Structure 1
Amino acid sequence: MLTFPHIDPIAFRIGPLAVHWYGITYLVAFGLFMLLATRRLKHEPFASIQGPGAWSRRDIDDMLFLGVLGVIVGGRLGYCLFYKPGYYATHPLEVFAVWQGGMSFHGGMLGVIASQLWFAHSRGKPFWQVMDFIAPCVPLGLAAGRVGNFINGELWGRLADPSLPWGMVFPQAGPQPRHPSQVYQFLMEGLLLFILLWLYARRERREGQVAAAFLVGYGFFRFVAEFFREPDSYLLWLQQQTGLSMGQWLCVPMMAAGVVLWLWARRRAPVVPATTGRTSRA
């Protein structure tokens, strides 16, 4: 049995400004996206597209900027709508109080999808080509976020058998050992999903299939991890009545959408990179 190592959530201070580790993990996530997306420019079909529609470093900068907005806006709205709709319906101004915490991955994902739909339209790029480009670059950023959750000692797991070697006592969760669910999510939704997606995307795929693989892969790993993660106290009733947590219920349509998208993409004709900046169907 392990004891949670007390880590000051504040990494350092600059005068009155306190820099938190959680904020640093967000910066690391954005940096990892830039690094991986730059490598992705050399992969097919993106490397072969020429002309006005060719992929460039500027596209990465713009996608990241829009993606950050999508994560913040979508993540916050998703948390308010999915997890505490009643509370925020009666306290609407607190929707903007992001410093109080409360972000939803599924809401952030919807925000990113909306932002990249705008990006694809403004650049004249096929939407699913954009999503296929982004998908393998995301999981390591998610892994960085789970490191931030662990440092903060939040989102701990459910009670574990005292004999579990890696069971951990989180001071804010009582004296009983718990599953370090942040570590499970770091390994599954972050590292493992990245490896699988990166390898899957290196081979020729139909447009939309890499994005579909992300939806299914993340949904599956998150669904499994939720069995070890302590449900939010205000949503414990959902777990007790249905046997599934809110996170799991949100993953069900995500996985279903991924399967439908993958099958739909499989039926489409393969995309042949064009030298005019557009893609053509074979």
Structure 2
Amino acid sequence: MMMHPNFDPVALQLGPFAIRWYALSYIVAFALFIFLGRRRIKQGNTVLTNDMLDDLLTYGVVGVILGGRLGYVLFYNFAQYIDSPLSIFKVWEGGMSFHGGFLGVLVAMLVYAKRHQLGFWQVTDFITPMVPAGLASGRIGNFINGELWGRVTPPDSFWAMGFPQAHYADQAIAATNFQYSQWFNQLGALPRHPSQLYQFALEGLCLFAIVWIFAKKKRPVGQISAVFLIGYGTFRFIAEFARQPDAHLGLLGLGLSMGQWLSLPMIVAGAALFMWAQKNHLVTHK
């Protein structure tokens, strides 16, 4: 069994100011968005300009942060934040939801599209090929922080990894399972799936390749967005089988996690959007 390196969460200390890996993963994601966005503009696949791209990033950042935080509060830990409302603003302590951030970005893109007199799907089709690269950066940040670890797996599995950050969770699980208690006592940690790396590979690298390549050809408006919805929902649903559910939620109906239940509507919506776009493909991307 491998052990997680247990990185220092602070990447750089400048006097009283600390730059955390969590924050750096977001900065890298936004930088990748600009870099890839300029590539798409240069390829001539959009009416957007570089100045419009910078403005678009501002809208996206607001949507990601507000939506991601509110989504985590509403979907994953509502009771705790109701008891302590001021904790909602402590974003440096972690606690962001992709599905909440996704909804926040949709609202931000709707406002952006109206302001610039563009079609909503025209805007989302432009940004979706860049999004998986940002997701990949975020998952690496999760791994460095040793958070969102995976479910327990046999210690002789080549992917098995112990997470020091999961010590108390490991103790709690080991106390209820004899086999797990033996592993915990022998290894000092329970062997787990490094699910952050699975999500990096699936939602990040694989999804980026699929959507980026799909977007290179002329497509009906809305179809690029549809492929992203289907792809992300499917990959997230699969990865959740290896990811440890939130302790206060556990598994929900049908033995599925909250992440899986939130991903299913994305798959259905993506499939419906793809068929709608195919049927109404009067306006196409170059």
Task: Assess, with a 3 A threshold, how the Cα gap between structure 1 residues 68 and 273 changes in structure 2: closer, same or farther.
Answer: closer
**Alpha carbons 1:44, 1:204 under 8 Å: kept:** no
In the alignment, what sits opposite 1:18? 18
Distance across 2 between alignment mates of 1:99 and 1:24: 12
Structure 1 segments, 4+ long, off by >6 Å, are none
**Structure 2 equivalent of residue 210 of structure 1:** 224
Partner residue of 1:27?
27
Partner of 1:155: 148
Q: Which residue of 230, 235, 247 maps to 2:249?
A: 235
What is the aligned partner in structure 1 of residue 5 from structure 2? 5
Contact 1:76–1:103 (Cα < 8 Å) also in 2: yes
Name whichever of 95-104 and 254-263 sits farther off. Answer: 95-104
Q: Distance in 1 between matches of 2:156 and 2:72?
A: 35
CA distance in 1, matches of 2:202, 2:268: 19
Shift of 1:117: 0.5
CA shift, 1:166, in A, is 1.9
Letter in 1 for 2:194: P
Summarize the Cα distance change of 1:98–1:272 in structure 2 as closer, same or farther, 3 Å threshold.
Answer: closer
Question: In percent, how many aligned pairs have the same letter?
Answer: 53
List per-residue Cα deviations over 1:173-228 (Å, max 9, x = no partner): 24121100000000000001000110011111100000011011000000000000
1:72-91 maps to which residues of 2 (within 5 A)? 72-91=65-84
CA-CA distance at 1:56 after TM superposition: 0.5
Task: Tell me the number of residue pairs that the alignment of Structure 1 and Structure 2 aligns.
Answer: 265
**Which letter does structure 1 place at the counterpart of 2:135?**
L
Return the offset for 1:109: 0.5
**Matching residue's letter, 2:105:** V
Question: Which residue of structure 2 lines up, in the alignment, with residue 189 of structure 1?
Answer: 203
Q: CA deviation at 1:7?
A: 1.2
Residue identity in the other structure for 1:165: F
Give the whole-Å Cα distance in 1 for the aligned partners of 2:85 and 2:272: 36
TM-score (ref. length: structure 2): 0.89
- Structure 2 CA distance for aligned equivalents of residues 120 and 60 of structure 1: 12
- Partner Cα separation in structure 1 for residue 20 and residue 8 of structure 2: 9
d(CA) in 2 for partners of 1:101, 1:83: 13
What residue ranges of structure 2 are gaps of 5+ in the alignment?
171-188
Partner of 2:191: 177
The equivalent residue for 1:61 is 54
How is 1:102-113 mapped onto 2 (pairs within 5 angstroms)? 102-113=95-106
Give the distance between the partners of 2:240 and 2:276, measured in 1 at CA: 29
* Partner Cα distance (1:186, 1:70) in 2: 22
Letter in 1 for 2:62: L
Per the TM alignment, residue 23 of structure 1 is displaced from its structure 2 partner at its CA by 1.1
- CA root-mean-square deviation: 1.5
Aligned partner of 2:262 among 226, 250, 255: 250
The change in CA–CA distance for 1:272 and 1:152 in structure 2 (over 3 A counts) is: closer
Distance 1:6 1:96, change over 3 A: closer
Cα distance in structure 1, aligned partners of 2:199 and 2:284? 37
Is 1:125 equivalent to 2:118 in the alignment? yes
Shift of 1:264: 0.8
In structure 1, stretches of 5+ residues that fail to align are 47-53, 275-282
Letter in 1 for 2:195: S
The alignment's TM-score, normalised by the length of structure 1, stands at 0.90
